[in-house]
Amino acid sequence: MIIEHPLLGPRDAAEFSYLGAATLMARPSPENGLQAMHDYVYLRENPVGIHRELWYHAQGDRSWLVVTRDTMTQDITKVELARDVALAQSGETS
Amino acid sequence: MKYNAWNIFQQGLTGNRDWKEAWRKPEPKAEYDIIVVGGGGHGLATAYYLAAKHGKHRVAVLEKGWIGGGNAGRNTTIVRSNYLLPGNQPFYELSMKLWEGLERELNYNAMMSQRGMLNLLHSDAQRDAGARRANAMLMSGADAELLNRDKIERDYPFLDFDNERFPIKAGLMQRRAGTARHDAVVWGYARAADQLGVDVIENCEVNGFLINNGVCSGVKTSRGDIKASKTAVCVAGSSGRVMAMAGMQLPIESFALQAFVSEGLKPVLPTAFSFGAGHFYVSQSDKGGIVFGGDLDSYNTYAQRGSLDIVQDVTECAVAVMPSIGRARLLRSWGGLMDMSMDGSPFIDKTHIDGLHFNGGWCYGGFKATPASGLCYAHLLATGTPHEVAKSYRLDRTLTGAMVDEKGQGAHPNRH
């Protein structure tokens, strides 16, 4: 599988370590209570089809990427720096 | 009809004309007492024990394809009960005991071969951990032996004992462990369940649940709606997408596991064994192929195929522990769908929806659990309470903190 790094170009997926769903970027505040924290840590959508997920370029530039990939076909349609995604998200709420 | 030597002899003399179908192909009825969703090893075992142990005969197993076409159809066949944690080991030992009596109980040859399973140990710490696990096994009524290097060298001369990085110091042996023929287990349970009146229905895909006001009264399928007071899902790697139809998210993610078979070789492996310094397990089939596997592909997938870097990773482990295998050719490889849970252990539980039950999260270790999973799920369905040895397999254990984390990896499904 090839991941098109926004800065470095196409890289073998084996250079990365995979964390999981990109929903992990949105950690709930403790004020939201135990159930919200539990659901964040343990429950997953685990979809067939489009999945946004976090990859860490461990053997490259050590950046975090948000990859949009189809879990059935493995087609990757979008790769963004996680930093850009996080900035855009906080930009939306501020 | 019973399978026995007399029937083989008699049928052989009369042109083999009168063998009966191993199981019927009935049309689905409009209603059953219990519907089992998923016609793999676990689902068929559940249906069999419902009928055999609990007198429940109005049971249907619904399978979207052909029975045993999922992970039961292609796995590395190893059967063992060598777990550590008190929430796990008694369950697997119950399963091991069921395996031992299975062929007689089902009147079906499952090619059960209790050839033994050896876990190699490469450091003092690992040997201590092995001794601890051996004690846990003995406490559960299983058998366990700690072998020193000399004993292992005698029977496994082909291993790389003096490897600089991973010398072999000792091994944890379970002699009652071994392998079984995966297809035969499915067919054996299907035939036995069918003979007790269970409807085994293939080519029937569940595409929804009949849920009203928090109560599940059956399923919608590609062959029409089917009602039941109890619906029991056990679909392994498809757990996420099936339970999503009930609006549920699970503490499970789906990953691919690859496995491999080499060309046929003369008998060389006396038992199954596993590498202690990497994730690698291997046995030799009766046809001579070396059957082995290792790490998961690390990303969520439903593709049932993996990538080449894992092929390299697994074969590197193989060659590290058993250098001579490097000369063998790979004949076959495949990928299956693993329902990896947040603590690496399974769930056999009711859900918050009345009448809807869930069995899944077996990760890559479901085959050895087949008999006990069926027995315990049947117990839950028939009595409404968990079986003694399956009490830890609750869906809410992530909330209550009662995790059963053998590997100690935490909430990272792809690390278990």
Whole-number Å distance between alpha carbons of B12 and B6: 10
Residue A25 to chain B, least CA–CA distance (Å): 15
Cβ distance B249 to A39 less than 8 Å, yes or no, reads: yes
Q: Which residue of chain B has the CA closest to A12?
A: B309
B313 has a pLDDT exceeding 60: yes
A44 and B253 in contact by Cβ < 8 A? yes
Asked if B315 is an interface residue toward chain A (Cβ–Cβ < 8 A), one would say no
pLDDT tens digits along B88-131: 999 999 999 999 999 999 999 999 999 999 999 999 999 999 99
- CB contacts of A20 in chain B (<8 Å) are 253, 300, 412-414
Mutation target vs A (from B242, B250, B302, B342; most A CBs, 10 A cutoff): B302
Closest CA to B118 of B92, B156, B91, B86: B156
Q: Which pLDDT belongs to residue B211?
A: 98
Is the pTM higher than 0.90? The answer reads: yes
Whether pLDDT at B159 is above 80: yes
Least Cα separation, residue B332 to chain A (angstroms): 21
The mean pLDDT of B64-83, rounded to a whole number, is: 96
Check if B244 contacts A (Cβ < 8 Å). yes
Mean pLDDT to the nearest integer, B132-151: 98
pLDDT of residue A92: 62
pLDDT tens sequence across B10-44: 999 999 998 889 999 999 999 999 999 999 999 99
**A50 in contact with B, Cβ within 8 Å:** no
pLDDT of residue A12: 95
The interface residues of chain B toward chain A in range 148-177, judged by CB-CB distance below 8 A, are: none
Neighbours of B30 (CB within 10 A): 9
Quote the mean pLDDT of chain B. Answer: 96
Q: Is B56 helix (H, G, I), strand (E, B) or coil?
A: coil
Does residue A94 have a pLDDT over 60?
no
Alpha helices (runs of H) in B196-295, residue ranges in sequence order? 239-244
Query: Among partner residues A38, A72, A74, which is closest to B398 by beta-carbon distance?
Result: A38
Nearest to B360, CA basis, from B38, B91, B13, B82: B38
Question: pLDDT digit string (tens) for B274-311?
Answer: 999 999 999 999 999 999 999 999 999 999 899 999 99
The predicted structure's pLDDT at residue B46:
98
Is residue B173 predicted with pLDDT exceeding 70? Answer: yes
Residue B146 has a pLDDT of: 98
Q: For position A91, what pLDDT does the model report?
A: 80
- Tell me the per-residue pLDDT of A44-92, one tens digit each, with 9 for 90 and over: 999 999 999 999 999 999 999 999 999 999 999 999 999 999 999 888 6
Comparing CA positions, the residue from A67, A66, A70 lying closest to residue A85 is: A66
Which residues from A are below 8 Å from B241, CB to CB? 46-48
Using CA coordinates, name the residue in chain A closest to B308.
A1
